[in-house]
Amino acid sequence: MSMLIEARGLHTHYGQSHILRGVDFTVGPAQTIGLMGRNGMGKTTLLKSLIGLVKPSGGTVQVKGRDMTGASPYAVARQGIAYVPEGRGIFGNLSVKENLVMAARAGTKGQRDWTYERVLDTFPRLAERLNHGGQQLSGGEQQMLTIGRALMTNPDLLILDEATEGLAPLIAREIWRICGLIRESGISSVIVDKNWKHVTQITDRNVILVKGEVVFHGSSAELHAQPEILQQHLGI
């Protein structure tokens, strides 16, 4: 099976700080991966190292078999990798409709499964607010817009960093429902979230990072069978 992303022996520094320490991380087609760990353990740094926002100091990143170590973010995005960062990053001066339409494009295989209409069907709240400016939306609506905009690029892989952070429980539940729909549509995803119960309900595999190293890699069933790992590394 050809991997969408394959990182081997990844090291990343911020100045003198050694953040990632020899991380191996892979995502295959139609896989949903949970990336977990306490704050400050290197999760976001790993994501940024995979997609070119941070340049690794060692190791390799391959995207669909092509060496993309240290490549620019737009070059990685062109390979069908979409990133929804923590903090959202919508265009506040554009309307909901403009945010979505500007991102629309076919996927790497020419697929246009995620159309404007399908995104609005998936996010009915957005359909009610098409002419609202991005800055007029609530935090949950902004998160939906960011995910919807990423889906408009028809990605092969969607990376979600803390998608439910700070959201009301009802809105968070809606985001999890959408994560399930994305999985069912055949798009691979990497999900970083503190809610391990929700994460493990929809993931095929899970990775736990501690101080920039992988301390667990396995299925959701394996993780549930070892509560001591959750206790030790996630404080649960």
Cα Rg of the chain (Å, integer): 17
Maximum Cα–Cα distance across the chain: 49
Mean pLDDT of 159-167: 92
| Structural domains of the chain, count | 1
Mean pLDDT of 174-186: 94
- Res 1 pLDDT > 70: no
Specify the pLDDT at position 175: 92
Least confident stretch, 96-100, 179-183, 192-196? 192-196
Mean pLDDT of 3-9: 97
Angle (CA) 100 104 106, round 5°: 155
Asked if residues 68 and 76 have their Cβ atoms less than 8 Å apart, the reply is yes
Asked if residues 95 and 130 have their Cβ atoms less than 8 Å apart, the reply is yes
- Res 231 pLDDT > 80: yes
Query: How do residues 57-76 score in pLDDT, each as one tens digit?
Result: 999 999 999 999 989 999 99
- Res 216 pLDDT > 90: yes
Instruction: Read off the pTM.
Output: 0.94
Range of the domain at 205: 5-234
- In angstroms, rounded to a whole number, what is the distance separating the alpha carbons of residues 206 and 199? 9
Least confident stretch, 91-95, 106-110, 184-188? 91-95
3-state secondary structure string across 12-74: EEECCEEEEEEEEEEECCCCEEEEECCCCCCHHHHHHHHHCCCCCCEEEEEECCEECCCCCHH
177-204 as b/e: b if 16+ CB within 10 A: ebbeebbeeebbbbbbbeebebbbebbe
CATH number at residue 119: 3.40.50.300
Asked if residues 50 and 7 have their Cβ atoms less than 8 Å apart, the reply is yes
